[in-house]
């Protein structure tokens, strides 16, 4: 029973265009959402997060949107760069504050020059 | 300086063997974790320790035994290895209570375990 799902295993975009990565969740107790980026042979690294009290958080080229009613979040990267090519994981946590994150299965983004 | 380091990075072994993966963090964090990335690519939490105390144990078979000699180290010992244990195991650390302020778990590079 996967509580966080990323239904697109892969995405390919042209350099300079927008990349949109999607994530759905089922647990209404989740109140904090995160995106992690992972290069091959490395561990995931934190990218951006959003609290459930917000619907948008922006950091440079990266923006995360949260639609609580739809239990859906998305990561927008604009403009996309070849160095953004990586696996992107969506994650969620609840109010327990134990640090336990529930991850999706990741989306592989390829940005073509 | 590697913040979270784990060894070995690759481990190939036979079914039934016992193996260990070591993890060390130099970030001064008080909480450490083991996550498993299975063949379907999901990252799933296995254990977490806070100041050497077990706080999360996600119904992992008791063949898996974490050990935290101090808050900078969290090792994972696996007894009687099975084919299904083949996966990438990631160690991570954080400062408890900061996930929702900094959003960060710091991950190691992963240890790929292959059981033949």
Looking at residue B98, its pLDDT comes to 65
State whether residue A10 sits within 8 Å of chain B by CB.
Answer: no
The percent of residues in chain A predicted with pLDDT above 70, rounded, is: 99
Residues A100, B104: C-beta atoms closer than 8 Å: no
State whether residue A104 sits within 8 Å of chain B by CB.
Answer: yes
Mean pLDDT of chain B: 90
Does residue B35 contact residue B45 with C-beta atoms inside 8 Å? yes
Size of interface A-B (CB pairs under 8 A): 67
**Nearest by Cα to A42 from B25, B114, B100, B112:** B112
Residues A89, B43: C-beta atoms closer than 8 Å: yes
Q: What angle do CA A37, B99, B76 make, to 5 degrees?
A: 75
DSSP lists the bridge partners of residue A25 as A4
B40-54 pLDDT, tens digit each? 888 999 998 888 888
If pLDDT is split at 50, 70 and 90, which confidence band does B37 have? very high
State whether residue A43 sits within 8 Å of chain B by CB.
Answer: yes
State whether residue B42 sits within 8 Å of chain A by CB.
Answer: yes
Looking at residue B1, its pLDDT comes to 65
Q: Distance, in angstroms, between A87 CA and closest chain B CA?
A: 10
Q: Is A83 helix (H, G, I), strand (E, B) or coil?
A: helix
> Across chain A, which distance is largest between two alpha carbons, in Å?
43
Alpha-carbon dihedral angle through residues B76, B82, B84, B86, given to the nearest 10 degrees:
50
Buried b (16+ CB within 10 A) or exposed e, A44-66: bebbbbbebeeeebeeeebbbbb
Residues B99, A93: C-beta atoms closer than 8 Å: yes
**Nearest by Cα to A102 from A40, A42, A34:** A34
If pLDDT is split at 50, 70 and 90, which confidence band does A48 have? very high
Looking at residue A111, its pLDDT comes to 97
């Amino acid at each position: 029973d996967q509580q966080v799902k990323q239904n697109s295993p892969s995405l390919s975009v042209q350099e300079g265009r927008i990349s949109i990565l999607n994530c759905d969740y089922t647990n209404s107790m989740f109140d904090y959402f995160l995106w992690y980026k992972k290069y091959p042979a490395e561990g995931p690294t934190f990218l951006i997060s959003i609290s459930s009290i917000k619907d948008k958080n922006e950091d440079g080229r990266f923006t995360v949107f949260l639609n609580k009613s739809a239990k859906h979040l998305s990561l927008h990267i604009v403009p996309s760069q070849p160095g953004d090519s990586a696996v992107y994981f969506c994650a969620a946590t609840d109010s327990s504050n134990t640090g336990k994150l529930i991850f999706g299965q990741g989306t592989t983004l390829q940005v073509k020059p | 300086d590697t913040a979270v380091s784990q060894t070995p990075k690759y481990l190939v072994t036979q079914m039934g063997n016992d193996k260990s993966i070591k993890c060390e963090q130099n970030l001064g964090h008080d909480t450490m974790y083991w996550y498993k990335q299975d063949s379907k690519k999901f990252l799933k939490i296995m254990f977490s320790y806070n100041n050497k105390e077990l706080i999360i144990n996600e119904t992992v078979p008791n063949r898996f035994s974490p050990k935290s000699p101090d808050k900078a180290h969290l090792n994972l010992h696996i007894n009687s290895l099975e084919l299904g244990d083949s996966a990438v195991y990631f160690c991570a650390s954080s400062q408890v209570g900061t996930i929702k302020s900094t959003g960060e778990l710091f991950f190691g590079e992963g240890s790929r375990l292959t059981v033949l």
